[in-house]
Amino acid sequence: MKQLFGTDGVRGVANVYPMTTEIAMQLGRAIAFIVKNRVRGNTIVIGKDTRLSGYMLENALAAGICSMGVNVQLVGPLPTPGIAFITTSMRADAGVVISASHNPFQDNGIKIFSADGFKLPDEVEADIEDLIFSQKMAALRPVAEEVGRASRIDDAAGRYIVALKNTFPKDYVLDDFHIVLDCAHGATYKVAPHVFAELGARVTCIGCEPDGTNINAGCGALHPEVMAARVQQLGADIGLALDGDGDRLIVCDEHGAIVDGDHIMAICASELLHRRKLKKKTLVATVMSNMGLEQAMVAMGGQMVRTQVGDRYVVEAMRARGYNFGGEQSGHLVFLDYNTTGDGTLAALQLLAIMIRKRKPLSELAAIMTTFPQILENVRMAVRIAPEQIPGFPEALRACEQRLGSRGRILVRPSGTEPVIRVMTEGEDEAEIAAMAHELCDVIRRADRI
Tens digits of per-residue pLDDT, 122-163? Answer: 899 999 999 999 988 888 888 888 999 999 999 999 999 999
Radius of gyration of the chain (CA): 22
Q: Could you tell me the CA-to-CA distances from 343 to 80, 130, 326, 410 in Å, in that order?
A: 8, 31, 12, 29
Among all residues, which ones are annotated catalytic? 101
Pairing outcome for strands 150-152 and 43-48:
unpaired
Q: Using CA atoms, how far apart are residues 284 and 365, in angstroms rounded to an integer?
A: 20
CB 379 within 8 A of CB 419: no
Tens digits of per-residue pLDDT, 85-119? Answer: 999 999 999 999 999 999 999 999 999 999 999 99
Tens digits of per-residue pLDDT, 195-212? Answer: 999 999 999 999 999 999
Task: Report the pLDDT value the prediction gives residue 6, as an integer from 0 to 100.
Answer: 85
* Residue with the larger pLDDT of the pair 404 and 383: 404
- Which residue type, as a one-letter code, is found at position 371? T
Half-sphere exposure in the Cβ direction for 297 (13 Å, CA): 28
Q: What is the distance, to the nearest Å, from the Cα of residue 123 to the centroid of all Cα atoms in its chain?
A: 21
Tens digits of per-residue pLDDT, 21-58? Answer: 999 999 999 999 999 988 888 999 999 999 999 999 99
Is the N-terminal amide bond of 18 cis, ω within 30° of 0? Answer: yes
3-state helix, strand, coil in the chain (%, to 5): 40, 20, 35
| Number of neighbours of residue 136 by Cβ within 10 angstroms | 12
Tens digits of per-residue pLDDT, 341-395? Answer: 999 999 999 999 999 999 999 999 999 999 999 999 999 988 888 899 999 999 9
CB 109 within 8 A of CB 53: no
Task: Report the pLDDT value the prediction gives residue 136, as an integer from 0 to 100.
Answer: 86
Is residue 1 scored above 80 in pLDDT? no
Is residue 7 scored above 90 in pLDDT? no
Is residue 450 scored above 80 in pLDDT? no
Task: Report the pLDDT value the prediction gives residue 411, as an integer from 0 to 100.
Answer: 93
CB 284 within 8 A of CB 329: no
Q: What is the pTM for the complete model shown?
A: 0.91
